[in-house]
């Protein structure tokens, strides 16, 4: 009986390799992708998308005074107890997944398209505003960048900016 099960398994695997299924597309499927991780990091080793943001507040003279660019998803320290309960890192992984989806949208977008129309852009902008609100409660404007970083084990070797958002007033 076990031999037949193994043969059936390999037959199903062979059929799955030969038979090509159509690609399913549609707006409802686009919205459901938030439930699935972005596995594109398995396709190639190289540049990785990172999100940086800065905040500004008005000075006495009325000019915007900007903070330094801040990395919004730095690596967290590992801890033995995180094996059992680690909500902050899980939230951070979901946020990084959003950044990966945003990068994929920018890659797939036709030249000249406005990224502000993407759902992922709006989600990233909302995320940035929430993080900056915690660090700079009195900020009036914000801006973020999607940077592609090439890292090795000790340092960042190369960086290039993929997209810089326009300056946005706090909503």
Residue range 51-105, pLDDT digits in tens: 999 999 988 888 999 999 999 876 666 777 777 777 887 788 888 889 989 999 9
The end-to-end CA distance of the chain, in Å, is 65
pLDDT of 40 reads 53
Rounded to whole angstroms, the Cα distance separating 77 from 90 reads 13
Q: Which residue has the tokens 């030969």?
A: 18
pTM, two decimals, is 0.69
User: What domain range includes position 159?
Assistant: 44-169
The confidence band for 46, taking pLDDT boundaries of 50, 70 and 90, is: confident
- Residue 111 maps to a domain: yes
pLDDT of 89 reads 77
Q: What are phi and psi of 143, to 5 degrees?
A: -155, 145
- Residue 13 maps to a domain: no
Percent of the chain with pLDDT strictly greater than 70: 81
- Residue 22 maps to a domain: no
**Range 141-168 average pLDDT:** 87
- Residue 91 maps to a domain: yes
Q: How many domains does the chain have?
A: 1
- Residue 159 maps to a domain: yes
- Residue 150 maps to a domain: yes
How confident is the prediction for the chain on average, in pLDDT?
Answer: 82
- Residue 103 maps to a domain: yes
Q: Which long-range contacts (CB under 8 A, 24 or more apart) does 77-84 make?
A: none
């Amino acid at each position: 009986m076990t031999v037949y099960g193994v043969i059936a398994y390999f037959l199903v695997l062979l059929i799955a390799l030969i038979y090509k299924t159509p690609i399913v597309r549609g707006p409802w499927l686009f919205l459901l992708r938030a439930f699935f991780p972005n596995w594109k990091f398995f396709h190639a080793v190289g540049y990785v998308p990172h999100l940086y943001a800065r905040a500004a507040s008005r000075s006495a003279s009325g000019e915007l005074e900007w903070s330094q660019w801040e990395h919004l998803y730095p690596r967290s320290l590992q801890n033995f107890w995180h094996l059992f309960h680690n909500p902050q890192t899980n939230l951070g992984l979901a946020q990084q997944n959003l950044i990966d989806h945003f990068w994929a949208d920018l890659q797939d977008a036709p030249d000249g398209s406005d990224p502000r129309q993407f759902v992922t852009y709006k989600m990233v902008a909302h995320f940035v505003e929430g993080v900056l609100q915690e660090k700079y409660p009195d900020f009036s404007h914000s801006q973020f960048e999607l940077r592609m970083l090439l890292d090795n084990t000790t340092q960042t070797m190369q960086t290039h900016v993929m997209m810089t958002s326009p300056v946005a007033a706090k909503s």
